[in-house]
Amino acid sequence: MPILQHGIPQKLSRNSLARASKASRSTRHLFTQSTPAQRTPIRTGLYTTAFVLSAGVFAVYYFDARSALHRYILTPILRNAFDVETGHKIAVKALKSGLAPRDPVGDDERLKSRIWGEAVSNPIGLAAGFDKDGEAIDGLFDLGFSWVEIGSVTPNPQPGNPRPRMFRLDEDNAVINRYGFPSQGHSSVLSRIRARIPNFFSRPPERAALREGAVLAVNLGKNKESPADSIDDFVSGVRAFGPFADVLVVNVSSPNTPGLRGLQNRDVLEKLLAGVTKARDDLEPSVLTSRKPKIVLKIAPDLEESQIIDMAEVIRNSKIDGVIVSNTTIQRPKTLINSNKTEMGGLSGPPVKPFSLKALQSLRANLPASIPLIGCGGIVTGKDALDYAKAGATMVQVYTGFGYDGVGACRRIKDQLIDELKKEGRTWEQVVNEAVEKLSWTEPEPVKKGEASIKQLIEEAEELKSMLDKLGDRMET
């Protein structure tokens, strides 16, 4: 409708329209953006380069297991944001994914060792319990471990004990677990091991680890419903995994399976070792490595001295290849601080080291040098590892320290161990060889005929003399 029809003067209306138009333009400038400056190819290139460099630096930092990012940020977040078992599962999945960090440093010559005459690049292994179902074998080797042990694996799948079943003792850097051998069973784990084997090799692998200077071990467990004194589950494990493992570990030391530790008793142990070594000897050489696996026994740290002596005699008379000393302990040192110390289960971490080291020393004194010992229990530093070497352990294994310290734990222990060896001016192999030669059991020299009777007469004469002296003293009083 024309403005003049409302009685508004034409000049006034024109001025009003001009002011309104100016105000509108001001508003647009205040609340809307002007057309952005055109991005030049040079500017785009600089932004792209900065982004690529930043991403590259982060990737290098992330994929290096030594990075503080893992030790002080990611690992604590994982530990505090989730319950202990969930955090454990996430860590396994991450290592399985192929996107996990790696140890980028080659092993120092001082760390080289030999077990069963075979070279290993370093003496630091990972104990069973972390990768129970063989999901992250290669991810764990990438962290620098020379021995990766999966399991325990039971013949049939079983869920293990009810949750919660794993407890952190943060102030003690320890863990108590009562997992009870949760396992997906032989078939599932075996399929994973076979899946990692390439279809074609440039040359046949010397080891089932598929890596030079490394060992793949499978820890064999026992189903909960199996008869307590039966060895069938272990024999079944030898037959199933023998062709695909460098080492098979017979685990009779977990405190969380009823009756399992009873297999450490002399009579049952003789039957067990005879059964598993016969099953191994009956295997055809592996189509993968052209070898048969070594058989290793894993024992508890809670054995009495007399039990260790009996066990050592059984081992000497068997065809067993080595012993891992030891598993978790049911003992509770008075030094424990965390309230979870009252939980049932096996204790691992630094508090178990004195028990494990003592058991290893006792066993070393009762076994010949030809049977190597692998030390396990409370190893979190290079000095801890060296303490086991000086007690006669050929290699060592870590577990709880790895959980607390993160993916860089293996590299840090190796670096610390190198420093310790430099101080002593020796290599790992020199320390081990010296200890094993000095501390190992040796076969007593056979007594020649006639010497036994003379020795016996001397002992009887000394005993008679002692009795006469005591009788004389009584008569004088």
Which active-site residues does the annotation give? 254
Please state, in angstroms and as integers, the Cα–Cα distance from residue 432 to each residue in 169, 222, 246, following that order. 32, 33, 22
Q: Which two tokens stand for residue 286?
A: 């592996």
Residue 200, Cβ neighbours under 10 Å: how many? 4
Q: Which two tokens stand for residue 155?
A: 């013949």
Half-sphere exposure of 307 (CA within 13 A, CB side): 15
Q: What share of the chain is helix, strand, coil (3-state, %, to 5)?
A: 50, 15, 40
Q: Which two tokens stand for residue 228?
A: 């307590």
Cα distance between residue 327 and residue 254, in whole Å: 7
Q: What is the largest CA-CA distance in the chain?
A: 155
Cα distance between residue 21 and residue 15, in whole Å: 10
Cα distance between residue 317 and residue 366, in whole Å: 12
Q: Which two tokens stand for residue 154?
A: 């039971």
Residue located via tokens 């972390």? 130
Cα distance between residue 198 and residue 217, in whole Å: 19
Length of the chain measured in residues: 477
Please state, in angstroms and as integers, the Cα–Cα distance from residue 428 to each residue in 139, 382, 419, following that order. 25, 11, 11
Cα distance between residue 432 and residue 395, in whole Å: 9
For residue 288, the 8-state DSSP code is T
Let me know the angle formed at the C-alpha of 259 by 256 and 263, rounded to the nearest 5 degrees. Answer: 110
Phi, psi of 130 (to 5 degrees): -80, -55
Please state, in angstroms and as integers, the Cα–Cα distance from residue 348 to each residue in 153, 391, 398, following that order. 20, 20, 10
Q: What three-state secondary structure class fits 218?
A: strand
Task: For residue 128, give the nearest of 141, 142, 106, 147 by alpha carbon.
Answer: 147
E strands in 261-402:
294-299, 322-325, 346-348, 373-376, 395-398
